Copies of this chain bind each other. A is one copy, B any other.
Amino acid sequence: MSSQTSTTQPRIVEVRRNVLRHNDQVAAALRDRFKRAGVFVASLVSSPGSGKTAFLERTLTLLKEKGYRPAAIVGDLATDNDAARLARSQAPVKQITTGTLCHLEAAMIQNALEGWNIGELDFLFIENVGNLVCPSSYDLGENLRLVLLSVTEGEDKPLKYPTIFNSADLAVITKIDLAEAVEFDRTAARSNIQSVRPGMRMLELSSKTNQGMDEWLAFLASAVAEPRP
């Protein structure tokens, strides 16, 4: 068994750098705008099928019940299935269809905000395309980035996708109700997260049983009670 590292073509590296620079500028403007509007913005990244939409639907519903005003923007290559699921919470929802693009970019968020008065929102959630690689480099102007990892995916994912874990602020272990059925090694998963990003905050959740949701909602409540970063 041997190992080798890729070399990417110089020209595509240069173009990527310019795209990222442009994205950073748009994201910085968005972050300013969110701050002035007093809305707390959290984005969600994960593999396809880690439970982003189920978690977000539950979050929107519970926040609405508590009198908060949340909204969501959701990205997918195709279909507006996720927007339809999220809209059941009665929160405002917009779908971004990316075609073959593997991640959301700040300009897409900017466009999606058209027609919304974000000053009337407490929370805006952005659900990225299901992809544990590409979204890591694109700042969306969010205050908080969540990376979700379901118990069915294997405990080694933080080690194998370190960049996305490094770009996130909070690790959410989802589908915790299935932990026993899949022999999930909680200690190994937590230790792998911490080895990639020491000190990273972690939550264990189930959107099915609501386990961990109280802690998550208390975290969100404290985030809007404090001045934004």
The answer to whether B132 and A48 have CB atoms under 8 Å apart is yes
How many A residues face the partner with a CB closer than 8 A?
65
Which residues of chain B are within 8 angstroms of A187 by Cβ–Cβ distance? none
Residue of B nearest to A22 (CB): B9
Residue from B77, B83, B95, B130 within 8 A of A162 (CB atoms): B77
Which residues of chain B are within 8 angstroms of A94 by Cβ–Cβ distance? 1-4
Residues A87 and B1 in contact in the complex (CB < 8 Å), given A19-B9, A160-B81: yes
Which among A32-40, A151-159, A198-206, A210-218 touches the partner chain?
A: A151-159
Q: How many copies does the complex hold?
A: 2
The reply to whether the CB of A78 lies closer than 8 angstroms to some CB of chain B is yes
Instruction: Determine which residue in A1, A3, A48, A108 has the highest number of CB atoms from chain B within 10 A of its CB, and name it.
Output: A48
Which residues of chain B are within 8 angstroms of A47 by Cβ–Cβ distance? 47-49, 130, 132, 153
Residues A12 and B3 in contact in the complex (CB < 8 Å), given A81-B160, A182-B178: no
The proximity string for A residues 123-134 relative to B, scoring 1 for CB distances below 8 Å and 0 otherwise, is: 000000111111
The reply to whether the CB of A112 lies closer than 8 angstroms to some CB of chain B is yes
Which residues of chain B are within 8 angstroms of A163 by Cβ–Cβ distance? 77, 100
The reply to whether the CB of A225 lies closer than 8 angstroms to some CB of chain B is no
The reply to whether the CB of A56 lies closer than 8 angstroms to some CB of chain B is no
Residue from B79, B83, B101, B156 within 8 A of A79 (CB atoms): B156
The reply to whether the CB of A28 lies closer than 8 angstroms to some CB of chain B is no
Which A residues are within 8 Å of any B CB, using their own CB? 1-6, 8-9, 11-12, 15-16, 19, 47-49, 76-84, 87, 92-102, 105, 108, 111-112, 115, 129-134, 136-137, 150, 152-154, 156-157, 159-163, 175, 178, 181-182
